[in-house]
Structure formats: C-alpha cells, structure tokens
A and B are shown apart, each in its own frame.
Chain A
Amino acid sequence: MQPFISVTTALVVVGAISIMLLSFGFFINKKLIKNSNDFLYAGRNVGLAFSTATLIAAWVTGNTTMAAPEQGYTLGLIACFGYASAGLPLIIFAPLALRIKKLMPNGCTSGDFIRIRFGKAVWGLYLLLSAWYFLGCLMTQAMAGGILLQALAGTPYLLGMLTIMLVCTIYTLKGGLKAVMATDYILSLLILGMLFITAVMAYTRFGAGDVYEGVMTLVPERMNLITSAGLMYLGSNFLFAAGEIFHSNQWWQRVYAAKESVAAKSFILSGLIWMTVPIVAGALAFVAISNNYVVPQVNMVFPIVVSQLLGPIGSVLVLIIIYAALASTVSSILTSSSNLIVQDIFKQLINPNISNEQLIKYNRVVIVALSVFAVALTWKQRTSMYQLLLLTGPAVASMVWPIAYGIFNQHTNRVAAFWAMLLGMSCGLVTYFVISSYAAPVVSAVVSCLVLVCGTALKPDQRFRWKDLNEVHAPKEGA
C-alpha cells in the first residue's frame, strides 16, 4: 500500500503534538506537583471538565477509530452500535463511582477494594489478571503507534513505536496524573474536533441519503440490524468493555481523583459523548461501500476513506486523531498500572510505611520499567498481539459481577467471588478456543454471575463491614 502522506509531514505533525505534551508535563511538574496526592490523584479535587475529558480520552483508543470503521465495513451498521455499546459500561459505572467515593474517600487503587472486600486470595488473582490486561493493552497501543506511522507515512515501524512510548513516558514521569489529565483534555478536544471536521467534510460531499442508497444497492445486508454476527459482536463487546472498566485501576484512579459531586456525572457524560465516536468513525465505512472504494486492507478502512475523500489533509487529520488517542491511552495505562504496582505490591508486601516522596519516586521507577518492558516485547512487530488482547476478554469479564455485587451487597461471599473469577475466566477461555472469541466474554460473565449469586445465597458473608473499606489512608502531605 502506498503511504498517504510524506515522512516530513508525518514527523512535523507528530513532533508538534509531542512538544505540546512534553511542555504540559514539564510545566505541571514545576508549577502544580506539590505532593504525592497531586502526582497520583491530581489533588483529589478534579472538576467536571477535566474529569469528563480524561475519561473520554483514556477510553478512545487507537482501536476505537480504526476498528469501528472496519467493523462497519465488514458487519454493517449493527457493528457500529456494537462498538458504541462499549460506552455503556462508563454510564453503568457511574453509581459505582459514587459509592466508591462514599465508601473509600481516601482509597488509592482498585486493588485496595478487592483486598479488603474479598481477602488476599481474590486480591492475588485480581492482580495477576489485571497485570495480564494492562501489559496486553500497553503493548497493543505501543505497536499501534509503530504501525500507524508506517502505514500513513512509510516510516520504519520502530520510529513510531519508540516515539509514542518515549513521549508518553516522559510527560507522565514529570507530571503524573495531573499532567495526564491536563493533556487528556487537549487530546480529547483534538480527537472529537478532528473527527467532527472529518465527518462534516465527508457527509457534506456525499449526503447521508445518497450513501444510504449506495449501500442498499450494493450490499443491503450492511443495513440489517439483526445479523447474527453483528448481534454477537454487540453483546461480546459490551461485556468485554464492562470488564475493562469495572476492574481496571485506570478508572478507579480517576474516581479517587474526581470531586465527589462530579464523579458520577463525569462517567455518565463521558459515556454518552464517547458513544458518538465509533458511530461517526464507523459511518465513514458506508461512504467507502457506497462509492465502491478499493480497500486492500480492511483494517485500514478509516485512513483509506478519509484520504480518498479529503486528500493529504484527511491523512493529517487521521494521524492527529489516532496519535492523540494512542498518547492518552498509553499515558493513562502507565500512571494507573504503576500506581497499582507500587501501592498494592510494594506498599502492601514490602514497605507499609512508605513516605510521600518514596511513593512518587517508586511510581516513576515503575513507569520507566513498564515502558522499557513494553518496548522490549514489541521491538519486533507481532501479528498475534491483538489476539493476545482478545484473550483477556474472558479474564476481565469474570471480574464484572464480583466487583459490582461486592460494592452493593455487604454479604457477598468472598470464596464465591474467588471461584466466580476463576471459573468464569476458565469457561470463557475454553469458549474462546472451542467456539469463538465473541462468545468468550459472554460465557465468562454468565458463569461468574451464577457462581457468585449462588455462593452468596448459600453462605452469605457475615464478617465484612462497610467501614472496613475506609481503613485505607492516603499518605499525609509532607509525610
């Protein structure tokens, strides 16, 4: 496939965004980072604008803009809704966010909740599954950076991969969650704004009515809302996304960072806003279908359509949208996973009396270590990486019910929670290999729910008290 833009143009665009991100990191480190609460939780008093924007930016990954058009192209409109259904878990998480703020106002990680609520066996299993997920995510985003620049400008794979990892590591290292949230605000404006401009330009040139007529003439089944593949994709994607959001420290860290009055609102608002992204991006696939565009690689539908429609400007818009999406996701994974490792492993198992300064220092060390690890594992482009990420579907879906049930039901049985996660994941993995990857998260969530509900009904937990969750104390300023 021919490159869409010149190497110089790609480097200028990536360089400009990178300079902006690094400037934020250094500025925030100098002016706004006073203690570990600023570095790890952005001061725990974040307002609605930053809180909403950071949720959108973290949840719009490279996949959102690339896979939604691909799914629209191959499975039709129902798949665009299927992809958009990944925004629903953000909305459903809103009451949980409010409850987390009330029960654990000084909470530090998602691991805190799991450890206190369910005990060390579940906590250990949770940490293993969580590490599998965040490493898989980090690697796919790093690889996507390399593949993006390679596909758009023909640069070597390593250049794009190393650029995204280096830039994100440096600004995260300097400014912590506060820098990530500030840059997420800018990045979410870039993603939403550029996608809006792209869609307006595309649908001004080809009206939605003409596009509809074209699709109905050439491939009418793309407008069928009840295709079996599309409906399976919808259910699977929703449960996979619910697992990702409910368990991952990325979202819990943002709950702890937000003001109590905005925690739930920001999740609802970001979910609603997020859902428009895959629908608008996915809708561009119908322009390709109705105009009979040649699409040699189906996973490149988005850049192909936009560049054919808008020329080199379109390719620059694609580069900005996807680079911004990748940067926000990588930095979010780095801050949340380093926090989980330091707070849950180092603080709990090695040094419970860790000081404020040590917390920041160790978080920075782990951020660098995670980046180096991800770079080493993705030094060579791996074709099986996306499959590896899909394999985490059963793992994360098995954690939805234990977390949701455990937050609202005081008598949730902790042994049942352990087996719910283990059996849910095991059945999901068997389904993945024997039936299909789409069915795996569904089976995992159903098995996990049955085990948890039955176990709790048979033997309700009598030991746990809600006030136990408030035992978590963030380090005191200057400690």
Chain B
Amino acid sequence: MMDSYAIYVSKDIFKFIIYGSIVLLGGTVALLLTMFFKELKNGSLW
C-alpha cells in the first residue's frame, strides 16, 4: 500500500548516491592503504 505522503528520489540524485558511494568505497581502500604505508614508513603503526 502506498503511503499518503511521498518524496521520490529523482534519477540524478539516485545516480549521484549510487556512483558517489561506489567511488567513496573505492577511495577508502586507497586511503587505508596510503595510511598504512605512511605509518609503516614513520614507524608509527603501533
């Protein structure tokens, strides 16, 4: 059953959410690797 009130996501916003999240996810992998190697080099891993 449809709710009485509705705010539908537009196509552009949907695309922005999906592609944005995927890019962020990929970026975080790169970020974690960068942080690891930087701290490994500085000897500050733990």
- A interface, CB within 8 angstroms of B: 42-43, 45-50, 52-53, 77, 178, 181, 185, 188-189, 192-193, 195-196, 199-200, 203, 208-209, 211-213, 216, 220-221, 223-228, 259, 273, 276-277, 279-280, 283
B26: chain A residues within 8 A (beta carbon) = 196, 200
Chain B binding site: helix, strand, loop or mixed by DSSP?
A: helix
| Contact-size category for B | 20 to 34
A208 touches B14 (CB 8 A): yes
A86 to B27, CA, bound (A): 21
Are B19 and A208 in contact (CB-based, < 8 A)?
Answer: yes
Which chain B residue lies CB-closest to A259?
B44
Instruction: Given contact pairs A225-B8, A280-B22, enumerate 16 new A-B contacts (beta carbons under 8 Å).
Output: A47-B39, A47-B45, A47-B46, A49-B32, A49-B35, A50-B45, A199-B22, A208-B15, A208-B19, A212-B11, A220-B8, A225-B9, A276-B21, A276-B24, A276-B28, A277-B25
Given A189-B33, A279-B21, are A226 and B39 also a contact pair (CB < 8 Å)?
Answer: no
Whole-angstrom distance between the Cβ of A314 and the nearest chain B Cβ: 16
B15 is contacted by which of A46, A209, A228 (Cβ under 8 Å)?
A: A209
B38 to chain A, nearest CB (A): 8
Determine whether the beta carbon of B9 is less than 8 Å from that of A223: yes
B residues neighboring A (CB under 8 Å): 2-3, 5-9, 11, 14-15, 17-19, 21-22, 24-26, 28-29, 31-33, 35-36, 38-39, 44-46
B39 in complex: contacting residue of A48, A225, A273, CB < 8 Å: A48
B3 touches A42 (CB 8 A): no
Instruction: Given A49-B39, A53-B32, A188-B32, answer yes or no on A224-B7 (Cβ-Cβ < 8 Å).
Output: yes
* Cross-chain contact A221 with B6 (CB below 8 angstroms): yes
Q: Provided the pairs A199-B22, A226-B5 are in contact, do residues A45 and B46 lie with their beta carbons within 8 angstroms?
A: yes
Which of A200, A220, A221 makes the CB contact (< 8 A) with B22? A200
| Overall SS of chain A's interface | helix
Q: Evaluate whether A226 and B3 lie within 8 angstroms (CB atoms) in the complex, with A49-B35, A195-B25, A199-B25 already known.
A: yes
Which residue on chain B has the smallest CB distance to residue A48? Answer: B35
Closest to A42 in B: B46
Contacts of A259 in B (CB 8 A): 44
Residues in B neighbouring A185, C-beta threshold 8 A: 32, 36
Contact partner of A224 (CB less than 8 A), chosen from B8, B15, B24, B44, is B8
Q: Which 5 A-B pairs have the closest CB atoms?
A: A49-B35, A49-B36, A208-B18, A208-B15, A47-B39
Asked whether A228 lies within 8 Å of B28 as measured between CB atoms, the reply is no
The answer to whether B14 touches A223 (Cβ under 8 A) is: yes
Q: Is the CB of B29 within 8 A of A189?
A: yes
CB-defined A-B contacts under 8 Å, sample of 12:
A50-B45, A52-B32, A189-B32, A192-B29, A196-B29, A211-B14, A224-B8, A226-B3, A226-B7, A273-B24, A276-B28, A280-B25
Are A212 and B14 touching (Cβ within 8 A)? yes
Chain B residues with CB under 8 A of A223: 8-9, 14
Distance A125 CA – B5 CA, assembled complex (angstroms): 43
Give the contacting residue for A276; candidates B5, B15, B25; CB below 8 A.
B25
